[in-house]
Amino acid sequence: MKAPPQEFTEIDRAGIIPLCHELAGRNAQWHIHALHPGCRFNPNPSDYCFVIEDTGAKRAWRCFSSDAFTDECHELVQLLHGATILDDAALDPDFVPPRILLLVRDCVAKDEKWHHHIMKPGCVFSPDPENHVVTLERETSPEMEIYSSGQPPNDLQREVELLYFRQHR
């Protein structure tokens, strides 16, 4: 994996939520990642790593912790995408699940360890930075599954986030 094209500014855990609110408040092109120990994008294999990116300003911040960032994620995913991102009722019944979602459902059904990344255009980790990307990493495969789209994949993302938080809360 090639080095990210920019440096990360290290921040304290307490600074994560205020920084995201500041970015949201000035309509920055921002997004977040919660990297697990062992995730290919996490340079520290024994810690969790939280990443905040302002892709418009090409800035990125990160914070390492021995504890998962689940609470921050739950709040910030909704700040980023609106509360409907975690609302079951907002799922579109006509949505045709792409292969990556079938794989996620399969992981859930088999109780296989998995996690995902939602990458906006310009994301430092993205294998396809021109597009919106969703990736899946799972225990039984060394390959990263990649979904790319020119449009924000809201239905895909909603179901993936719901499945993820159901397993981790």
Binding residues for Zn ion (CB under 5 A)? 39, 53, 123, 137
* Alpha-carbon distances, residue 81 vs 108, 116, 140, 152, 154 (angstroms): 23, 16, 30, 10, 9
Shortest distance (Å) from residue 4 CB to Zn ion: 9
Shortest distance (Å) from residue 42 CB to Zn ion: 7
In a 3-state reduction of DSSP, which class is residue 14? helix
The residue among 28 and 90 lying less far from Zn ion, judged by its C-beta, is: 28
The residue among 117 and 158 lying less far from Zn ion, judged by its C-beta, is: 117
| Count of other CB atoms within 10 angstroms of residue 85 | 17
Shortest distance (Å) from residue 67 CB to Zn ion: 17
- Reported as type and span, the H/E element at residue 137 is strand 132-138
SS3 content of the chain, % helix, strand, coil (to 5): 35, 25, 40
In a 3-state reduction of DSSP, which class is residue 54? strand
Shortest distance (Å) from residue 40 CB to Zn ion: 6
The residue among 92 and 106 lying less far from Zn ion, judged by its C-beta, is: 106
The residue among 53 and 72 lying less far from Zn ion, judged by its C-beta, is: 53
Shortest distance (Å) from residue 18 CB to Zn ion: 19
The residue among 137 and 159 lying less far from Zn ion, judged by its C-beta, is: 137
**DSSP states of 141-158:** EEEEEEEEESS--HHHHH
